[in-house]
A and B are shown apart, each in its own frame.
Chain A
Amino acid sequence: MNFDYTEEQTLLENMVTSFVRDDYDWDTRCSIVKTEEGWKEENWKKFAELGLLGVPFEEDNGGLGGEATDIMIVMEQFGKGLVVEPYMPSIILAGGLISKLGSSDQKNSIIPEIISGDRRYVFAYAEPQSRFDLFDVKCSASLDGDNYIINGFKSVVFGAGMATHLIISARTEGDQRSKSGITLFLVDIKSDGITLQNYPTIDEYRASEVVIENLSVSKENILGELGNSYEAIEEQVDLSTIAICSEAVGILQVLKDSTNDYCKNRKQFGQPISANQAIQHRLVDMMIEYEQAKSILYMAITADLSNPDERRKAASAAKARIGKAIKFVGENAIQLHGGMGVVDEYMISHFFKRATMIGILFGNVDFHMKRYIDLTQSNIQLINEDDGINLS
């Protein structure tokens, strides 16, 4: 049993840490989010040079064959810098779907392009009515000759404005909330029939509403089997959930450490506010929440993610528990910063906002608590009358 990184993983961590330190200091980050594009394409090229874009892909496709731990390492450090480039949406989620479902032709032509940074796919799945249910898909695709004609509306597609391509989930058969009948389509974002409405998010990332009208896609651009993509979507969203939990743990560390420093430096009544026990105990509770968040992330990372039920449980346990930690650490970080906590100018509010939005992404605390309960409390054994009860 160990929680150590391999030598390669330590190198990876050092690399991402120094990227954030040298190329992504706070002022640089602030200037990036104020640009019209909301990201810096040069950084994407830099990620390609550093090999970061290949981390989760199989070595056969030119990737590094990284595992959950490697993804955690990258995401945690990105969290500490609030890196806005669409790494999770494009590399982990969309990239994961292509790796999982792509034909060998598709993988051979697409994945090297992703790793080199020339193409960016993002996955358009959410719809105005779907909330967090991945199977709730109204967007429809109907066969017309050799092509499918897609019509529908996709909501809050992260990073679509930075993408070259989309993966669209559409219904090829079944009811709106049926798990079967969902098909994935690979499309160029510039195709006729796709209209993007781009906007900034409250945490200074970028997302888009995607209107799809009579979009024509050839059969070859179906990703995976016709009507049979739900399981893969759920799997890749679970793995992406663990990835954003890692980002959240990085952010929580910044929130906790910065608040600690702030309270030691801020003087009132002639002494640092950290001399007050009310403040000290709050800081301790924040530290405990951070450690508990990190621990459940480690539980998820080291779980048997190849087993579907273990994977589902791990993702929901981590997301639900870390969601609670986000609220506690985040809100208290703002509270203890006093007036400095609520202004846009100081960095702490930005970390709080990002953490809070991560809390919603792929399902909030209530959603994942319910999912965890459904996964864990369906088979309870009945009590054996002869057994004593020992609760001490």
Chain B
Amino acid sequence: MDTAFSSEDLKFQSDVREFISNNYPKELKDSISTKRKTGKELSRDDLMSWHKILGKHNGWSAPGWPKQYGGAEFTPTQKYIFEQECARAECQYIMPFGVNMVGPVIYTFGNEEQKAKHLPGILSGDVFWCQGYSEPGSGSDLASLKTSAVKEGDHYIVNGQKTWTTLAQHADWIFCLVRTNPEAEKPQQGISFLLIDMKTPGITVRPIKLMDGSHEVNETWFDNVKVPVENLIGQENMGWTYAKFLLAHERSGIAGVARSKKALERIKQIASAEMSYGEPLIQDPAFKSKIANAELELNSLEYTELRTLAKDSAGKGPGPESSLLKIKGTDIQQMVTELAMEAVGYYANPHLGTTLSNEYVGPDYATNLSGSYFNFRKASIYGGSNEIQRNIIAKMVLGL
């Protein structure tokens, strides 16, 4: 047993650290920091410019992709290090929809034309993707989805509604699960995986405002949208297989350990500035104990993730254990966002960055911490709710 990094890994770590410090743009840091302090939303440039820089550097925008598709093909340990270093420097994270979700589906199940057409744009960050899975009537029971695609000549005609489409307001393309065979014996058997250009006539995107006031997700409507048949991935009616592959594929970073660690560090700093009972909050035994509790959960989860990664490097592919990482990872994110809100006392109240608030009040570090708390209730719901993750473990790991 050995968790020390090898000399190659240490070299890699210092390379990543150096690359970030030389290349992460100051303007981006400032722009994001100002927006955070004032409660403003991030622009497409804020979200993508770091991705674009990484895309020009040995495929670092796609840490897990094979080299033949332009990815970095990091080892699991390298992925872990990369994740840690990016979190440490508070880099804007890479949007997962292209790199972690549709990308691996395209290079695994797509044809040569599809690979040539789509992979470079995902890698470079020039093309923004979003995900068309959930529907108003299909949340946890995703296979019940109704959006239909009917083949007419060399096109599919798509009709229906997707929802919770994250950042669709920025997206150029959407990957969708659609029903191509309503007659199939099982609902899973009639689903196909389609790539759709968001500029196609008949697509309407409407914002859904979340409880923190943010515009993160949307409804996406399809009204007789014509999609060329060459945009079908793999075989018709096999979409469920690709969808499941996508869900289980990318587990590096799924637990968000590095980001939660950084957040916990910040909470300690905030709690050293906030006063309670005439002393810094960080001296308060009850608060200390909550921090320590979160830290222990995080330490355990970090080693659970490392154990999973070590299994991955031994060639034992991804499996349903990633559900464990999702459950605990989101538990901890929620624990951490709650602690941050708690740390700032009354200054959890001001809701800044809305059209009604022009003035900025309270300490900079307090802005939007309650917003984060409310926003992060989503974490145990999205990506397969934590109850669904428990169903998966019960069935696939425990054999119940």
A residues near B, CB below 8 A?
A: 1-5, 69, 260, 263-264, 274-275, 277, 279-281, 283-285, 287-288, 291-296, 298-299, 301-302, 317, 320-321, 369, 372-373, 376-377, 380-385, 387-392
A369→B375 CA distance, assembly (Å): 30
**B299 in the interface, Cβ–Cβ < 8 Å?**
yes
Number of interface residues of B (CB under 8 A): 64
B residues near A, CB below 8 A?
A: 1-6, 9, 32-34, 36-37, 77, 90, 262-263, 266, 268-273, 282, 288-289, 291-293, 295-297, 299-304, 306-307, 309-310, 324, 327-328, 336-337, 340, 364-365, 367, 369, 372, 375-376, 387, 390-391, 393-394, 397-400
Min distance, Cβ B202 to any Cβ of chain A, angstroms: 33
Measured CB to CB, the nearest residue on chain B to A5 is: B1
A274→B289 CA distance, assembly (Å): 36
A390→B34 CA distance, assembly (Å): 11
Q: A69-B1, A392-B375 are in contact. Are A372 and B296 (CB under 8 A)?
A: yes
A390 to B32, Cβ gap below 8 A? yes
8 cross-chain CB contacts under 8 A: A3-B3, A280-B391, A284-B393, A294-B307, A298-B3, A299-B299, A299-B303, A369-B289
B304 to A295, Cβ gap below 8 A? yes
DSSP class of A's interface residues: helix, strand, loop or mixed? helix
Q: A280-B391, A295-B307, A302-B1 are in contact. Are A377 and B300 (CB under 8 A)?
A: no
Residues of B contacting A284 with CB < 8 Å?
390, 393-394, 398
Measured CB to CB, the nearest residue on chain B to A281 is: B390
B394 to A280, Cβ gap below 8 A? yes
Q: A369-B289, A377-B288 are in contact. Are A385 and B364 (CB under 8 A)?
A: yes
B269 to A380, Cβ gap below 8 A? yes
Min distance, Cβ B251 to any Cβ of chain A, angstroms: 14
Interface centre among A321, A372, A390 (most CB of B within 10 A): A390
B36 to A389, Cβ gap below 8 A? yes
A3 to B296, Cβ gap below 8 A? no
B300 to A292, Cβ gap below 8 A? yes
Measured CB to CB, the nearest residue on chain A to B283 is: A377
A281→B375 CA distance, assembly (Å): 25
B5 to A263, Cβ gap below 8 A? no
A389→B337 CA distance, assembly (Å): 12
Interface centre among A264, A275, A388 (most CB of B within 10 A): A388
A352→B293 CA distance, assembly (Å): 24
Residues of B contacting A3 with CB < 8 Å?
1, 3, 306-307, 310
Q: A288-B324, A380-B271 are in contact. List 8 more A-B contacts (CB 8 A).
A: A260-B400, A280-B390, A280-B391, A295-B299, A320-B292, A372-B296, A383-B272, A388-B34
Measured CB to CB, the nearest residue on chain B to A4 is: B1
Residue from B90, B304, B337, B394 in contact with A291 in the complex, judged by beta carbons closer than 8 Å: B304
B1 to A295, Cβ gap below 8 A? no
Measured CB to CB, the nearest residue on chain A to B293 is: A369
A43→B387 CA distance, assembly (Å): 47
A255→B262 CA distance, assembly (Å): 35
Residue from A291, A380, A390 in contact with B282 in the complex, judged by beta carbons closer than 8 Å: A380
Residues of A contacting B5 with CB < 8 Å?
1
Residue from A283, A292, A320, A388 in contact with B398 in the complex, judged by beta carbons closer than 8 Å: A283
Residues of A contacting B398 with CB < 8 Å?
260, 280, 283-284, 287
A2 to B1, Cβ gap below 8 A? yes
Measured CB to CB, the nearest residue on chain B to A388 is: B33
B1 to A382, Cβ gap below 8 A? no
Residues of A contacting B336 with CB < 8 Å?
391
B268 to A388, Cβ gap below 8 A? no
Residues of B contacting A391 with CB < 8 Å?
263, 266, 336-337, 340, 369, 372
Min distance, Cβ B103 to any Cβ of chain A, angstroms: 23
Give the top 3 A-B pairs by smallest Cβ distance, nearest first.
A388-B33, A295-B303, A280-B394
A321 to B296, Cβ gap below 8 A? yes
Min distance, Cβ B182 to any Cβ of chain A, angstroms: 29
Residue from A277, A293, A372, A388 in contact with B391 in the complex, judged by beta carbons closer than 8 Å: A277
Measured CB to CB, the nearest residue on chain A to B387 is: A281
A16→B302 CA distance, assembly (Å): 29
A292→B300 CA distance, assembly (Å): 5
A388→B91 CA distance, assembly (Å): 12
A298 to B269, Cβ gap below 8 A? no
Residue from A1, A277, A292, A293 in contact with B306 in the complex, judged by beta carbons closer than 8 Å: A1
Residues of B contacting A302 with CB < 8 Å?
1-4
